[in-house]
Chain A
C-alpha cells in the first residue's frame, strides 16, 4: 500500500489541472462509515477525486470496495460521514433537487404496469414537462437507445438487454448532464454486453454527457473509459487512477490492440495490489 500516497498526489494534481475546465464532481477526503450490528464498516476512506465535464469515468474493483457507495454518495442516496463532495458546485442534496443527474441501476427497475414509453415518461411527468414535450422527448430518447417501435410494449415483453436500454433512455429523457451508471450491464450476457457498450460509447459521443460508470469487468472499463479508477476494499479506497490513451473513437476490435491490453494489464495489477494486503 506504499504506492497509495503517490497516487493520491497524482490524483490531486489531476484535480488541479481539471479545475481549469468545468468540474462536475469534486470529492475531498471523502469517507463513509456504515454502523452495522457487527460494528462500523468503512465503505469509503479518504477518497479524493475530480470528474471533469464530458469525461467517461469507470470505477472498478472487487465487491465491497465502495464503488457503488461512491456513486450513491454523488447521487445523494448515501450520506458521507467525512470529507466534502460537490456536484456541479453544489452539495449532492442540492444537485439532486436540481435534477442534475440521471441514475441507471443494476436492474432496469422498469415499472411493470407502464409501457416502455410511459416508463421513459415517468421522470418527465414528475418534473412537470408538458404533454407535447414529454412525447417529443420519449420519442427522441427511445430512438437514441435504438428502441423505436417498442413504445407500446410492456417491460416483460422485452429482453433483459432491451429493458436495460429502456432504463438508460429513462435516465436520458430529462436534461441531466451527468449520467451515473451502477453496473448497468452486469446481469447481461457477453454478446449483449458488447453490443450495449458500443451503443453507450456512441451515445456518449453524441450527447457529450459526463458518465460515471461502475463495473467489475476489466475489458468493459478499459473499452469505455477516458479514466479508470481502481478501488480496493476494507476500507474502500482508490488505489490507482489510469488515464486512458485510447482515442475517443473506439471500434470493438480496439480491444485486441497492444495499448488496450497494456491498460487492461495495469488495471489487473492494480486490482491484485489491492487484494494482496488481506
Chain B
C-alpha cells in the first residue's frame, strides 16, 4: 500500500494519489477480483454446453474459441458481466421508458410499491413502538406477535394477501405495497422501541421534576433520542421493502415489475434478463439506502452529533 502510494505520488499527484490513500483503491481491487472470478466461472460453467455444440456441429475448436464463445451465448448458464451490462444498457438507455421492454419502466413499478409499502411500514412501526413503550399491556402482548409475524415465509403469505384484498375490492398497487409493509415495519418497531427507551434515567427524572406531560416528554426527549435509531432502522426497512415488492410480484402473476421480469426470464431461460433485473434491484436498493443515509447526515448534523458518532 505504502509502496503504491509512494510510486503514485512521485509521478501523478491528484486523482490517483487520492484513490490510493482513500477508499477508492481497495474498492477497485475487490471489484476487479470479483469481475475476474465471474469471468472465470462464465467460461467454466458455460463450457460443457459449448463443447457439446462444437461436437454436434463436428467443428474444430481451440481454447481461445471456447473462451470467446462461452461469453457470447444467447442463454448461458452464467452470462458474462459485459453481456449483463449490454442488456442493462439496451433496456434502460436504449428503450423508451413507456415500453414494456424498458427496465426503467419495470423498476418504477417495483419502486412505487416499495416506497408506498415502506412509508406505511415505517409509520406502522413507529406507532407500534410508541404503543409498546407507553403501554404495559401492549409491551407484554404485541412484541411476541411482531416477532412471530416475521417467522412466516413471505412467499407463503404473499398470495393470500393479494387474494384476500382482491376479494374486498383492493387491487393494483396497494396489495403489493402491503407485502412490503409486512416486511419493513419489523426493523422499525424493534429499532424504535430501543430508541424510545434510550433516554437515560436522569433525563426522564429531569422531565418529571419539571412536571412535563407525557406528550412533552415524548417530543422533547424520547423522539429526538430515538432519531438515530429511526434512520438505522429505515435503512434496513427500505432494503427489505424492495425485497418484499419483488417477492410480492413473483407468486401473484404480476406482468410488470422487477419480480415479473425475473419470473419471465426464468420461464424462458433468459438468464441475461434475470441478471440485469437483479442488478437493477441492487442498484435501486443502493440508491434508496443512500438517500436515507443523506437524510440521516443532514438531520444528525442539525442535531449537533459529533463527527464519527454517526452509525
Contact = CB atoms under 8 A, between A and B. Distances in A.
Interface of A: 75-77, 96-97, 99, 101-103, 105-107, 109, 111-115, 122-123, 125-127, 154, 156
A127 B209 contact: no
Given A96-B211, A103-B209, A156-B306, A113 B220 contact: no
Contacts of A99: 210-211
Interface in B205-241: 205-212, 216, 220-221, 224-225, 227
Contacts of B206: 103, 105, 109
Contacts of B227: 113
B153 interface: no
B232 to A, nearest CB: 16
A126 to B, nearest CB: 5
A155 to B, nearest CB: 8
A96 B209 contact: yes
A7 to B, nearest CB: 31
B224 A113 contact: yes
Lowest 10 A-B CB distances belong to which pairs? A154-B304, A113-B303, A109-B202, A105-B202, A103-B209, A126-B212, A126-B210, A113-B224, A123-B210, A97-B211
B65 interface: no
21 contacts: A76-B208, A77-B208, A96-B208, A97-B211, A103-B205, A105-B202, A107-B200, A107-B202, A109-B202, A109-B203, A111-B221, A112-B303, A113-B224, A113-B225, A113-B227, A113-B303, A113-B304, A114-B304, A126-B216, A154-B306, A156-B306
Contacts of B202: 105-107, 109
A115 B304 contact: yes
Contact of A111 (B203, B205, B208, B305): B203
Q: Which of B202, B207, B220 has the most CB of A within 10 A?
A: B202
Interface residues of B, number: 21
Contacts of A111: 203, 220-221, 224-225
Contact of A109 (B200, B210, B225, B304): B200
Contacts of B210: 99, 122-123, 126-127
A10 B52 CA distance: 108
B193 to A, nearest CB: 20
Contacts of A154: 304, 306
Given A111-B225, A123-B210, 16 more contacts: A76-B208, A77-B205, A77-B208, A77-B209, A96-B211, A99-B210, A101-B209, A102-B209, A105-B202, A106-B202, A109-B202, A109-B203, A112-B303, A112-B305, A126-B212, A154-B304
A1 B112 CA distance: 77
The dominant DSSP class at the B interface is helix
A180 to B, nearest CB: 8
Contacts of A76: 208
A109 B216 CA distance: 17
Contacts of A114: 304
A178 to B, nearest CB: 11
A156 B304 CA distance: 9
A107 B202 CA distance: 8
Interface in B167-216: 200, 202-203, 205-212, 216
A126 B218 CA distance: 12
Contacts of B224: 111, 113
Contacts of B303: 112-113
A114 to B, nearest CB: 8
Nearest to A155: B304
B304 A75 contact: no
Contact of A125 (B203, B208, B220, B225): B220
A277 B119 CA distance: 64
B211 A105 contact: no
Q: Which of A105, A114, A127 has the most CB of B within 10 A?
A: A105
Contact of A122 (B205, B220, B305): B220
A112 B209 contact: no
Interface string B256-289: 0000000000000000000000000000000000
Interface in B281-308: 303-306
Given A109-B200, A111-B224, A75 B209 contact: yes
A241 to B, nearest CB: 26
B217 to A, nearest CB: 9
Nearest to A108: B202
A272 to B, nearest CB: 31
B17 to A, nearest CB: 33
Contacts of A77: 205, 208-209
Nearest to B206: A109
B308 to A, nearest CB: 11
A147 to B, nearest CB: 17
A126 B208 contact: no
Contacts of B216: 126
Contacts of B304: 112-115, 154, 156
